[in-house]
Structure 1
Amino acid sequence: MNIIKNTMAIAALCLAFYSADTYSKEYKIVLIHGFQPQQLISDGDVSESGQNYWNGYWDNLSDARIDWPSYERIEEKIATDYIWPKLKAFSESDFCSPGCIFVTHSTGDLVARYIIENQETWLENAGLAPLNIVATFDIAGAGGGSELADLAVSVAQGTESWTFIIEAALEACLGGQLSDEMGVLHDLKVNNARQLAPLPDARIPRLRFVADASDFLGVTSPFIQGHDDGVVGSHSSCGGNRQGHYGSCSSQVDFNGKVSNQGNAVSGFMPYHYPMLMSKDYAHLSVLEQQHKGKVTAASNHENLLSGEGVHFDTYTQTTGWWLWKSNYLYVENSNEDSMSTLIYDAIPN
């Protein structure tokens, strides 16, 4: 009996070590979620909504979250009542001493930019040390705004005529009817988003991970400039420094991985914004999940964190066709099996 008990204890101890090693990373992972349209209809519990947002993959792999309500504005209560208490707690506990990586999705990209612009000043004014943020991993980033937010606000304010097509697009994106509460949608209007903390002094790398499919059968795409993931255009998700009808984050690789000149690629980027992975098969929501959707290509396969440590993706080239019809495709290793989120997490230094 003692032998059995000892064997079970050793097995449990080994499992604990294995699990800790499996999910342990060198840097702390902080999640910042995106716009949650249901909060415009029913406030709900902000923390619970934040946890539910990441359920499925990222929540179990993270060390902390910064939750915020979509019915508020970024420079107002989101900053004072939700961002600041978290930053203060992080500083007081030396949470980011080993380095923090902010993993953002959608509007979380814009929230992170506002944090990067202000966190050092806020914390130093409170007599606290600034956070050691070594990078952000921005998935389907909406830091450049979304034309759907412009459309929603215009319809709500009566400056845009209501049509069946507009109704279908907004209901697909918002998950229901418009309400009088617009909250962060005002911040997500393209011009507003691009004017919010546009040039932070901090040189924190903003690594971009971009999708090009739609969760909504393409019904939202006619209202978004350029290629899109159903919610944000590539001008935003790639980190472009201006709005435009862009077809890729890279001048050399298409969203589908084809290696060829991309004449309509994003030509200029916001400071320290670096596109890394792209895929034509993932959409705005599915890019967060563990389910594999298709192969992934690389706009860039290597970038450095602020610490100097590298984030790297192994790639390979696949050739199809023959002679004049021959084409080369660039793919990320293991993307034929692993989801984009899995590839992203695995690339975070251990």
Structure 2
Amino acid sequence: MKSLKLMALCLLVIATGTAHAQLAGKNVILVHGLQADDLADNPANQQEIDQNGDAYWQAFWASRAEARIDWGSHERVEGKTAQRAFQQMVEISQQGLCNQGCILVTHSTGDLVGRYILANQERWLSNAGYQPLNIITSLDFAGAGGGSELADLAVTAAYADGFSDEAIKLAVTAYIGTEPTPDNLGVLRDLQPAVARNLAISPNNVPRLRFVGAGSDYYGLTGSFLPGEDDGVVALHSTCGGTQVGSYESCVSDVRLDGKRTSVDAPNALYYNHYPILMGEKVDHGQVINTESGNTLTYANNGLSFSGVDVNFDTETYQERPWWKFWGSADTYQVVSDSEQSSVSGLVYDTLN
């Protein structure tokens, strides 16, 4: 009897752990972003790449996912990265993790890698005799699918005779942690906006939900090289999912990043099936996937549903008159209720669950 009770307890723990790793009842697959250390010191093998991938997500998402697709930032998307992704997707397919649907969670350059995966995985796996992954939606945090102008700087600097501009040197070395050379650019070549925006851009049926910020990262050294509002690494034209490079102040034309309802510069068009969801004026590039709280968030879209993934954040509006404004109506703000009490990823995870 005791052994049966012990077995039942073990099964309960296993079931609880599995449920905890799901989001909206679906298994989660993580695709990390740029790992600058890979550029200066190339990983020796897939095991080292996997270890780096695990470390990347430890702050929040590691314990909430069933699988990862790990790749090396020293390699190109259409080359070795695609090969590594395919091998890992074969394992995911064999395990049946996506038979009931999976949610992709990407960060930064993982948005670009994820787009390439979504464009090709069905064909790759079918041709190899495996079941394609049933990915129902993608959550893209600080997505760099539209590229980053910092990659342009790095590539240009790599072919120059040293840094001619101290500000550019500081920005590039802050971003990648080393002085760029033609031999250590890796995925930065793909991350150039002109290149990124021509990589796997055919429409597909997987909705991509965007979560963006505009806080200063890298001590403000990089922001001046990015057009419009940015999170210190990627400008809004990319994180919002805009079809064109531009200098934008928000993902939508009627709400600022601080939640104020007003006319504002935003992308005229977004890539097919791309939906900006949350925006944070003071959220920087790394904060979207860690546990830091204290930032008020607004919303670009809310009350949407994607194959059982319900996007329905608690929201509120309020009016506020600046101390210096003595006439006219007060300003109206729309915000996610109590968003400063949670991290961005924590809020998304709890809400979608």
Residue 303 (structure 2) pairs with residue 302 (structure 1): yes
Residue type at the aligned position of 2:290: E
Q: CA deviation at 1:144?
A: 0.1
Q: CA deviation at 1:156?
A: 0.2
Residue 334 (structure 2) pairs with residue 330 (structure 1): yes
| Contact 1:151–1:160 (8 Å) recurs in 2 | no
Say which SS state the counterpart of residue 28 (structure 1) adopts: strand
The aligned residue for residue 197 of structure 1 is 200
Residue 82 (structure 2) pairs with residue 79 (structure 1): yes
Q: Which moved more, 1:175-184 or 1:154-163?
A: 154-163
The aligned residue for residue 31 of structure 2 is 32
139, 142, 145: which one aligns with 1:140: 142
Task: Summarize the alignment of residues 1-350 of structure 1 with structure 2, pairs less than 5 Å apart.
Answer: 21-25=19-23, 26-44=25-43, 45-80=48-83, 82-158=84-160, 162-179=164-181, 180-200=183-203, 202-262=204-264, 264-305=265-306, 307=307, 309-321=309-321, 324=328, 326-349=330-353
Do the aligned partners of residues 165 and 128 (structure 1) sit closer, same or farther apart at CA in structure 2, a change above 3 Å counting?
A: same
| Contact 2:218–2:232 (8 Å) recurs in 1 | yes
Q: Distance in 2 between matches of 1:211 and 1:281?
A: 6
Q: Which moved more, 1:215-224 or 1:248-257?
A: 215-224
| Contact 1:215–1:286 (8 Å) recurs in 2 | no
Do the aligned partners of residues 143 and 92 (structure 1) sit closer, same or farther apart at CA in structure 2, a change above 3 Å counting?
A: same
Residue type at the aligned position of 1:194: R
Percent of aligned positions that are identical: 41
Q: CA deviation at 1:199?
A: 1.3
Q: CA deviation at 1:135?
A: 0.6
Do the aligned partners of residues 11 and 331 (structure 1) sit closer, same or farther apart at CA in structure 2, a change above 3 Å counting?
A: farther
Deviation per CA, 1:92-129, whole angstroms, max 9, x where unpaired? 22210111111000000000100111111111111222
Residue type at the aligned position of 2:71: W
Structure 1 unaligned spans of 5+? 1-6
Do the aligned partners of residues 319 and 23 (structure 1) sit closer, same or farther apart at CA in structure 2, a change above 3 Å counting?
A: farther
| Contact 2:22–2:65 (8 Å) recurs in 1 | no
Structure 2 unaligned spans of 5+? none
Say which SS state the counterpart of residue 245 (structure 1) adopts: coil
| Contact 1:100–1:135 (8 Å) recurs in 2 | yes
When the two chains are superposed, the root-mean-square deviation of aligned CA atoms in Å is: 2.6
Residue type at the aligned position of 1:88: V
| Contact 1:148–1:224 (8 Å) recurs in 2 | yes
Deviation per CA, 1:177-208, whole angstroms, max 9, x where unpaired? 324311000000000000001114x2110100
Residue type at the aligned position of 1:278: M
Q: Distance in 2 between matches of 1:334 and 1:9?
A: 42
TM value normalised by structure 2? 0.90
Q: Distance in 2 between matches of 1:18 and 1:137?
A: 23
Say which SS state the counterpart of residue 319 (structure 1) adopts: strand
Deviation per CA, 1:218-244, whole angstroms, max 9, x where unpaired? 211111111100000000000000100
Q: Distance in 1 between matches of 2:116 and 2:333?
A: 37
| Contact 1:281–1:293 (8 Å) recurs in 2 | no
Do the aligned partners of residues 19 and 328 (structure 1) sit closer, same or farther apart at CA in structure 2, a change above 3 Å counting?
A: farther
Do the aligned partners of residues 333 and 160 (structure 1) sit closer, same or farther apart at CA in structure 2, a change above 3 Å counting?
A: farther
| Contact 2:21–2:66 (8 Å) recurs in 1 | no
Q: Distance in 1 between matches of 2:141 and 2:254?
A: 21
TM value normalised by structure 1? 0.91
Say which SS state the counterpart of residue 270 (structure 1) adopts: coil
Q: Distance in 1 between matches of 2:243 and 2:276?
A: 13
Do the aligned partners of residues 159 and 186 (structure 1) sit closer, same or farther apart at CA in structure 2, a change above 3 Å counting?
A: farther
The aligned residue for residue 4 of structure 1 is none
Do the aligned partners of residues 23 and 94 (structure 1) sit closer, same or farther apart at CA in structure 2, a change above 3 Å counting?
A: closer
